[in-house]
Every structure is written in C-alpha cells, then in structure tokens.
Amino acid sequence: MASRYWVVSLPVKDSASPLWNRLQDQISRHSFDTPLYRFSIPNLRVGTLDSLLSLSDDLLKSNSFLESVSHKIRRQIEDLERVSGAESNALTVDGVPVDSYLTRFVWDEAKYPTMSPLKEIVDGIHSSVVKIEDDLKVRLAEYNNVRSQLNAINRKQSGSLAVRDLSSLVKPEDIISSEHLITLLAVVPKYSQKDWLASYETLTNYVVPRSSKKLFEDNEYALYTVTLFRRVADNFRTTSREKGFQIRDFEYSSEAQEGRKQEMDKLVQDQESLRGSLLQWCYTSYGEVFSSWMHFCAVRIFAESILRYGLPPSFLSCVVAPATKSEKKIRSILEGLSDAEDEAGMAGLGGDVDGHPYVSFTINLL
C-alpha cells in the first residue's frame, strides 16, 4: 500500500476520455510502475464565484485538520495494539481497505447530497470530524486515567524498598503484635547489612535477641524484621535513623491486603475492557474520518479546478501514487498534458499552491 498520493486535475478541452487515454499511455511508457486511477467526482453544485473564492480560503486549513485527526486516530490504534501485543488489522472504510477506498472512490449521495451547497458539505464534514475528535479525547482520558492508577500501584510495588508498598513482601507469620511486643520493619542499605546485624540488638533496651530476619533485598536495600517491646519502639526508630536505618510504618491487615488485590484486579479488568472498546471505536471512527476526508478532497479538487480552469466545469481528476524517483517524470507528463489541453485559453482565478499549471495536492495516509 502506498502511503502518499497525489490528487490532480487536468483541464479538458473537448472530452475527458481521450485525455485519460493519453495520460495512461504516457504513464505506462515513461513510468510504468506508477499506479494511476480515475478520481470520480459527481456534478456538484457550483454556486457563485464569490462563494467558491470564500470556500477556497478555508480548504487548506480544513484539509490540515481532517488529515491530523485521521493520523491521530491511526497512531492511537498503533499504540493500543503495541501495548496489548495484538496483531494489526487493516484500516478500512466499511470493510474496504483505505487505499482501495481512495483509488476507487465513489461519492456517497445519501450522506452528502450533490445539490447541497459546497460550503454546507464542507461544514458538515468538519463538524462531524470535530465531534469524533472530541469523543476521542473523552475516551482516551478515561482509558489513561485507569492506566495512571495502575502505573501508580505498580510503581509502589516495584520501586525501592524505601518507598514501595511492603504488603506483598510480608507474611502474617513475620509479624508479632501483642500487648507488649511489636515487630518493626527496617530498611537497611544493601552494604550496611553487617552493621545492622551487629548492632540492632543494642540500639535500645528490650530488643528480642536474634529476632531480626531478612525478608527481601533489592539493588539498594534489604528489608529486615526486628521484634522488641512496644514501649521502646519510638526510641528504636530514632536511634535506627541516626545509624542510617529506616523503620517503615507498617501494620499487617489481611483485609487491607485483599482489598488492594481486588482493587488491582478490577483496574486490570477495566484497563483491558477500555482498551478493547477504545481500539474498536478507533477502527470504526478512522473509517468515518477517512471517508469524510476523501469526500472533502473531492469537493476541494472540484472547487479548485473551477477556480483554476473556469466555467463550465470541464476537467479530468485522477489519483497518482508516484515513487520518489518518478516524481519529476510524472510532473513533466502532467504539465505537458495540461499545457496541451489549456491551449484554448481557459483562464481561471485559482492557482495551485505548489506552483503547477494544473490543480494538485498531496494525501498522506501515514
């Protein structure tokens, strides 16, 4: 699938068919590997010249907006699939691959009646895509909120022992809590463990001898228990801090631990559910935005062709997917055919933004 296409129109002096045949012939002879397609545009309502001039001022800005929303949704699809490890599905419009939808474009008369003013069609397209973009922001905020909560929990469970949640590291049998005795949890620098083991019994009175047990170790710290009389706990905390050992506040509760587990499980389920529904919405919405964008491109090529070549509408519109190495040759062919057809002096008011003697703009799918 090509990722970059030119939508072009050439002036027609008599009939479009001979021009189309000459274009096909020259492309096949001089750049045979360049895909070329007719871009079928219905007879749209021209309106007044003033209305066309007014509309042309907005076309470039509107195209940038439609293109940006299309790319935003596509990137969101890629991000969601990368996170979930899901296999990428083809981007489609009502089941038709987007490149085929572009190269075999058919105007949707039911959705965009051709008798409607061009500005009304363009405004309708713009409004519908604005709503989709707003909906994306809401859905993405909901999904990212759950992700942020999960990430915060994961950071607490996987960070340094100095700050992480300890509940998953401590078992009920590691803790003594009675009227007189209490077990504290000490975070000891990894390379100070010998100092801890040699000194913890003497940091204060009434420490239970040989009560310290290592529960866990990470790259920076080790987690130890120590049991002592409850009435000297505060003094033990102070002297430990002076020696460079951190006593973490911890109270074992099976109910609290179960509650945290349930919260985590629910957030994981919510994240998967939201990711799945957001991905499905993105696939559907991408198709809607892309379809709207292609209808907009049809209006744009129609309006710019009239402004360029004059009235009545008489032009051949097509889609080209040139390789970079073939661009100059294709431009030369298009310019030659445009000059030949324009000998009759069909002078319009519009000009191509890229400085070509024919109407041309680029569609970037990626």
**Residues 73-119: pLDDT tens digits?**
999 999 999 887 777 788 999 999 999 999 999 999 999 999 999 99
N residues, the chain = 366
Angle of the 327-341 helix axis to the 16-30 helix axis, nearest 10: 150
The pLDDT of 169-193, averaged and rounded, is: 93
Q: How far apart are CA 135 and CA 288, in angstroms?
A: 13
Which residue in 62, 103, 91, 81 sits closest to 286, CA to CA? 91
The pLDDT of 195-210, averaged and rounded, is: 96
Angle of the 254-309 helix axis to the 49-84 helix axis, nearest 10: 150
pLDDT greater than 60 at residue 245: yes
3-state secondary structure of 185: strand
For the beta sheet containing 221-229, the strands, ordered from the edge strand earlier in sequence to the opposite edge, are 213-217, 221-229, 181-189, 246-248
Q: Tokens in use for 296?
A: 């907009």
**Is 206 within 8 Å of 229 (Cβ atoms)?**
yes
Query: Which of residues 55 and 87 earns the better pLDDT score?
Result: 55
| Alpha carbon 220 to its chain's center | 37
Which residue in 66, 2, 71, 124 sits closest to 282, CA to CA? 71
pLDDT-derived band at 350 (thresholds 50, 70, 90) equals very low
Q: Tokens in use for 277?
A: 């529904």
pLDDT greater than 90 at residue 275: yes
pLDDT-derived band at 341 (thresholds 50, 70, 90) equals low
Q: How far apart are CA 116 and CA 44, in angstroms?
A: 8
320 phi/psi in degrees, rounded to 5: -125, 140
**Is 241 within 8 Å of 247 (Cβ atoms)?**
yes
Choose the weakest-confidence range: 2-6, 80-84, 315-319, 341-345: 341-345
The pLDDT of 300-322, averaged and rounded, is: 94
The pLDDT of 261-272, averaged and rounded, is: 89
pLDDT greater than 50 at residue 344: no
pLDDT-derived band at 262 (thresholds 50, 70, 90) equals confident
pLDDT greater than 90 at residue 151: no
Which pLDDT score, from 0 to 100, does residue 347 have? 41
- Is the peptide bond between 113 and the residue preceding it cis, with omega within 30 degrees of 0? no
pLDDT-derived band at 343 (thresholds 50, 70, 90) equals low
Which pLDDT score, from 0 to 100, does residue 345 have? 40
Q: Tokens in use for 196?
A: 């801890």
